Structure 1
Amino acid sequence: MAGGAVSLDLDLHVPGRVRVALRAEPGEVIAVIGPNGAGKSTLVHALAGLVPATGSAVLDGTDLLALPTRERSVGLVFQRQLLFPHLSALDNVAFGPRARGGSRREAEQRAHDWLDRLGVGELSGRRPRELSGGQAQRVAIARALATDPRLLLLDEPLTGLDVKVAMALRIELGRHLATYDGITLLVTHHALDALTIADRVLVLDEGRVAQLGTPAEVAQRPRTEHVARLVGLNVVPSEGRLTAFTPDAVTVSLEPPVGSARLRWHGPVVDVSPHGDAVRLLVRAEPDLIADVTPAAATELGLAPGREVWLSVKETAVRRYDLAPEQTGTVAP
């Protein structure tokens, strides 16, 4: 990658939708996670110039928000590839370098290089309709990287792909981002992306920053119910603190549990699904909780949507920690 070390100082506000302040360091990959409507896509689209925003986004000394969309040194990949349907894979990737004044020969050579790096060089002559979903997404990522962007914005690039294809592309993407000296914001709803590709994780909730930390910090001490679900934990607010425990620590019964050294909840089962060797339940309690039971126990208890159950957890299986200061923030009007 050309260019050199670059940082991003962000204090961006899309009124009523999202407000984010952070500093990203050179080469850093930040995963952006949160529930639907949290402002994830709004954030990256605002940085790309597709959504009006106020505040500042200073990239390598230049405020992106003060520039027209076409002049921002940004690469953007959507969930849907949005390739030019009438152009070949090669011409799709070469389009950016050509638009920035490069010669046809230079642009095509750069396009060939990126298609080869992403494992689809032999498909350079094909048009988008002749590519599989995974192949097309590789071309879309190559197109975004071919212009040497200083800021790479990936808006759920692996969503909708076959599981095996997504895993292969995740590995490939992680390998390239490890050597990328610009800054990457990766919007995702997969915990695996956040835990394996990112240097830090930005958690958005209702348009505000609910948590910002390393993948390990966020996984061990999730501050929101959404993140807890992503990493497979239950999190319960209690007297200004959070209580966390794993689904396999939950005991499920049809009668109220006995014993004083237990936390307990009551509610109907709303979802039952396989989870490895276990059966995972989602129970509508306060808050909603997940529990893992054996298939034999699920059959014996007649666990199905609508079944009223009791959940309990031993105190020894619970970890408690303080709420983060960010969680008290709100979105400005």
Structure 2
Amino acid sequence: MTGPGLDLALTVPGRLDVALRADPGEVLAVIGPNGAGKTTLLHALSGLVPAAGHARLGDRELLAQPVRERRVGLVFQDQVLFPHLSALENVAFGLRARGTPRARAREAAAAWLERVGLAELAGRRPSQLSGGQAQRVAIARALVTEPALLLLDEPMAGLDVGVAADLRVELRRHLADFGGVAVLVTHDALDALTLATRVVVLEGGRVAQEGPPEEVAARPRTEHVARLVGLNVVRREGRLAAFRPSDVTLSLEQPVGSARLVWHGPVRTLAPHGDAVRVQVAARPDLIADVTPLAARDLGLEPGVEVWLAVKATAVATYATDDPA
């Protein structure tokens, strides 16, 4: 079933001043640095933070409605399940709070636990569930009420990589079936690129960029987003120069050639990155390079070793930045 669209212009003094629209079925991924206003936006929509302006969900004004009547589903990063209730009772809680008879609420909750693969754990309390299982219960609890607006605040945060990957696949399936508007706050570029139909970048409580995930990833307008999607970024006279770590060449001697951009500094860290070794260098600004394990060994790379970084000018994308700095 297709739900209503969302049209909002919200202000929380000193924290948020945002205007957005979303069609039914859209998944908005909201990204940005800490303090950008991402969680404030979710809290304003859910009624946890007072806000001025409007937030129309179809023909209904959310800001004029009590929290329980907003048809909003919430999923937080720490699950916030009721510790004294079973998984089944946690999922049924929202329906019971809206006056649904107990038997019908439990039947709907059981169906959702089946959908998220936890039917056999219906009687367990949150303390008896793993982090991934608890987050699945939280997702079921949010969706069982058939909300028109689904708000997800870092749903994969704090989970092991493998658990987060499985939950991401499952959440993508649920979002594909969801007819309303979903707003996903995340610090993970993978969440934004795989789950969202549109990415919204917040900086200082305002929208700095929005567009399809592939467009935002290819041409980020802020340093935060460039680094989030794994690009090196250098500010140059009001513009951003961005390039991939795989395009960087490391050497122990200063490279020659006029068609190159060159930096110098000590190695900070080395870490496996797929089939490569990702090397972070303190080069004003910090830059990253992906090299083969053989190259890392031959160069004797370790923290403190002085290296030169070079990238061909043809591998650098330069464009205007919307960063306020």
TM-score (structure 1 length as normaliser): 0.92
Residue 312 (structure 1) aligned with residue 310 (structure 2)? yes
Q: 1:226-282: CA deviations, max 9, x gaps?
A: 222232222233344332211011112233321111112223332221111211122
- Maintained 8 Å contact 1:208/1:329: no
Among all aligned residue pairs of Structure 1 and Structure 2, give the percentage whose two residues are the same amino acid.
69
Match of 1:135 in 2: 133
Cα distance change of structure 1 residues 84 and 322 upon mapping to structure 2, 3 Å threshold: same
The structural deviation recorded for 1:328 is 5.7
Quick one: which amino acid aligns to residue 88 of structure 2? L
- Maintained 8 Å contact 1:222/1:228: yes
Map of 1:35-184 to 2, 5 A cutoff? 35-184=33-182
Structure 2 residue runs without a partner (length 5+): none
Residue 275 (structure 1) aligned with residue 260 (structure 2)? no
Instruction: Give the 3-state SS of the residue equivalent to 1:144 in structure 2.
Output: helix
Question: What CA distance in whole angstroms lies between the structure 2 residues aligned with 1:212 and 1:35?
Answer: 15
Q: 1:268-325: CA deviations, max 9, x gaps?
A: 33222111121112223343321112223323333333333321111121223344xx
- Maintained 8 Å contact 2:81/2:126: yes
Range with greater deviation from structure 2 (86-95 or 7-16): 7-16
Match of 1:246 in 2: 244
Instruction: Give the 3-state SS of the residue equivalent to 1:51 in structure 2.
Output: coil
Structure 1 residue runs without a partner (length 5+): none
Residue correspondences, number: 325
Question: What CA distance in whole angstroms lies between the structure 1 residues aligned with 2:269 and 2:201?
Answer: 25
Quick one: which amino acid aligns to residue 313 of structure 1? V
1:222 paired residue among 220, 225, 230:
220
- Maintained 8 Å contact 2:221/2:323: no
CA RMSD of aligned residues (A): 1.8
Residue 234 (structure 1) aligned with residue 235 (structure 2)? no
Cα distance change of structure 1 residues 287 and 15 upon mapping to structure 2, 3 Å threshold: farther
1:25 paired residue among 23, 26, 35:
23
Quick one: which amino acid aligns to residue 178 of structure 1? A
Question: What CA distance in whole angstroms lies between the structure 2 residues aligned with 1:328 and 1:309?
Answer: 30
- Maintained 8 Å contact 1:222/1:235: no
Instruction: Give the 3-state SS of the residue equivalent to 1:194 in structure 2.
Output: helix
- Maintained 8 Å contact 1:209/1:329: no
Question: What CA distance in whole angstroms lies between the structure 1 residues aligned with 2:229 and 2:240?
Answer: 15
Q: 1:147-203: CA deviations, max 9, x gaps?
A: 111110000111111222211111111111111111101111222211111100111
Range with greater deviation from structure 2 (286-295 or 177-186): 286-295
Cα distance change of structure 1 residues 282 and 206 upon mapping to structure 2, 3 Å threshold: farther
TM-score (structure 2 length as normaliser): 0.94
Residue 213 (structure 1) aligned with residue 211 (structure 2)? yes
